Each structure stands twice: as C-alpha cells, then as structure tokens.
Amino acid sequence: MTRESQDLTAEQELVAFLEEGEHIEAIVFGEWGWGNGGAPDPTPVPEDKQGVVLSWNEAWPLMRTWRFSGGFGCPDCYAIRCWTNRRVIWVTQYDGSTWLSSAPRNPVAHMPDMPGG
C-alpha cells in the first residue's frame, strides 16, 4: 500500500484504478472484512445494499468513508465485484492486506498475473 492510496477513499481508489476510456457499469458490495462483523458504525453500506447490483451513481456515495488498500489483520473494507466496460474488478487480500485486482471482462490476449501475494 502506498502513501498515496492511504489518503484516498474507496471511491477515489477505484476511479484511480480505471484505465483510460474505462467506465464503471455496476457494483455489488459483499460483507465487511471476513464477514464476521467489525464494520464501522454507522455502516457505510447498509445491509439492504449488499448483495444487490448497484449503478455507479448509487454506489459511489457509499464509498467515501473507507478505503480498499489496507494493512495486515482482518480486512478493513467491503468485498466487491465491479463491472466496467472492459474488466471485472475485486478486492484481493492476503492475510488481511488488501488491494484491487482485475481480469478482462471478455477474452483478450494479455499476460495473466497471480494476485494474492
């Protein structure tokens, strides 16, 4: 995690992760952390907004008080799936350290990586 990502909200991190010409089509929020509680109070993403498809306009206001990039221990963010016009984006975690990862939305020639540390 870089110093710059520590200063960004989840909304800003996601926008910064986009490639030129890429736009967000939909987001689904999962549970906070490992799903065993511990979400901030008040909860940034209400339970009735988790597990449902949200447009970017519905999702970004829920992403302004937390961030994706985090240190070790229980993840300090929501699990997500985010569909853009080019990729599917998610949170990768290794021992609680978190960052954004992605895969092409459709078959394309590319060099696959191996997220997870």
Give the tens place of pLDDT for each residue, 30-47: 999 888 878 888 999 999
Q: What is the pLDDT of residue 10?
A: 96
pLDDT averaged over the chain?
Answer: 90
State residue 40's pLDDT score. Answer: 87
The average pLDDT across 108-113 equals 90
Predicted local confidence at residue 44, as pLDDT: 96
What are the C-alpha distances in Å from 33 to residues 16, 20, 21, 42, 92? 22, 30, 31, 15, 11
Domain boundaries, the chain: 3-104
Q: Which of 52-56, 97-101, 106-110 has the highest mean pLDDT?
A: 52-56
- Give all strands (DSSP E) within 17-113, no chain letters: 24-32, 78-84, 87-94, 97-104
Per-residue pLDDT tens for 50-92?
999 999 999 999 999 999 988 787 888 999 999 999 999 999 9
